[in-house]
Amino acid sequence: MTENFPSITRRSALLSGAAAAAAMALPTSFGFAANISSTPTSIKGDNRMGYITTKDGVEIFYKDWGPKDAQPIVFHHGWPLSSDDWDAQMLFFLAKGFRVVAHDRRGHGRSAQVSDGHDMDHYAADAFAVVEALDLKNAVHIGHSTGGGEVARYVAKYGQPSGRVAKAVLVSAVPPLMLKTETNPGGLPMEVFDGIRKGVADNRAQLFVDFPTGPFYGFNRPDAKVYPGVIQNWWRQGMMGSAKAHYDGIKAFSETDQTEDLKAITVPTLVMHGDDDQVVPIDNAGKLSVKLVQNGTLKVYQGYPHGMLTTHAEVLNADLLAFIQA
């Protein structure tokens, strides 16, 4: 028997949900909130959300806010989140007059939950598809965690060859290589990543509570100020995505050796890392990456966690702005 229902696609449902969420006012008392007190009541610009389709037929959700003639800043999110993780940065830079763009990685957030292509090559190609579709030039690309790996591969393979990238920023980023190997003795053992895979396969919903409650934001440290809303938002973003993409993505962020990507990067590159990052330890990540890029600067944040873009948004936003404007 066939029943006739109103035509509601996953895309329209997600966009409607996003609009409804945006309409809900959030408390302004969070100590880590971006400093946008000088933001006008209405931020002018052509603000839109939509989808582009990649060459292999995958629908990628994106946000494109601000004046289209302004310098673009492109944000690349971490595992297993979405472009929503950049809210504090996108609003801050939008208020400063920039064009801000972010997309949900394939299988994450509102993008298509495809079975294949959950690797750095496809991540970078998808980012380039967004950049081409929006015709972004002279862009600054900022990546957090896995998104930092995406930025490194994108800049090396697409951004510089096409002349579309001005600067790059790697924040708490996974390159050069997270996995411990004979040639990378400072990496993390495979058992760590197998444990994350088991958590995704056995009870992803619980893992996505435990991770932000514990090491991601440093909420497991003594005297840490814990924000339940931040934990809930992490869980919300994660559960929007595909379990298959999250499972496969663990291999992408842990086993991809991006040494050659980093060596190929010639544009000014800022490497930002907290020295209390329990997820991507700084010694085998930020401190190595800055030595590999050709024009890099390392900024270390004492006591800051992996998710410092949220917990310390005011500090990082100011440093990002200074780097972009330099």
Question: Which entry of 103, 122, 273, 306 is annotated as an active-site residue?
Answer: 306
Catalytic hit among 76, 246, 277, 312: 277
**Torsional sign, CA 214, 218, 223, 229:** negative
Active site residue 76: no
User: How far is Cα 175 from Cα 120, in angstroms, rounded to an integer?
Assistant: 11
Identify the active-site residue in 83, 111, 145, 254: 145
- Does 306 participate in catalysis according to the annotation? yes
DSSP state of 188: B
- Helices (DSSP H) in the chain: which residue ranges? 10-23, 87-95, 120-134, 146-154, 160-162, 190-211, 228-240, 243-255, 259-264, 286-292, 308-311, 313-325
- 172 counts as catalytic: no
3-state DSSP of 202-266: HHHHHHHHHHHHHHHCCCCCCCCCCCHHHHHHHHHHHHHCCHHHHHHHHHHHHHCCCHHHHHHCC
What are 144's strand-pairing partners? 171
Residues involved in catalysis: 145, 277, 306
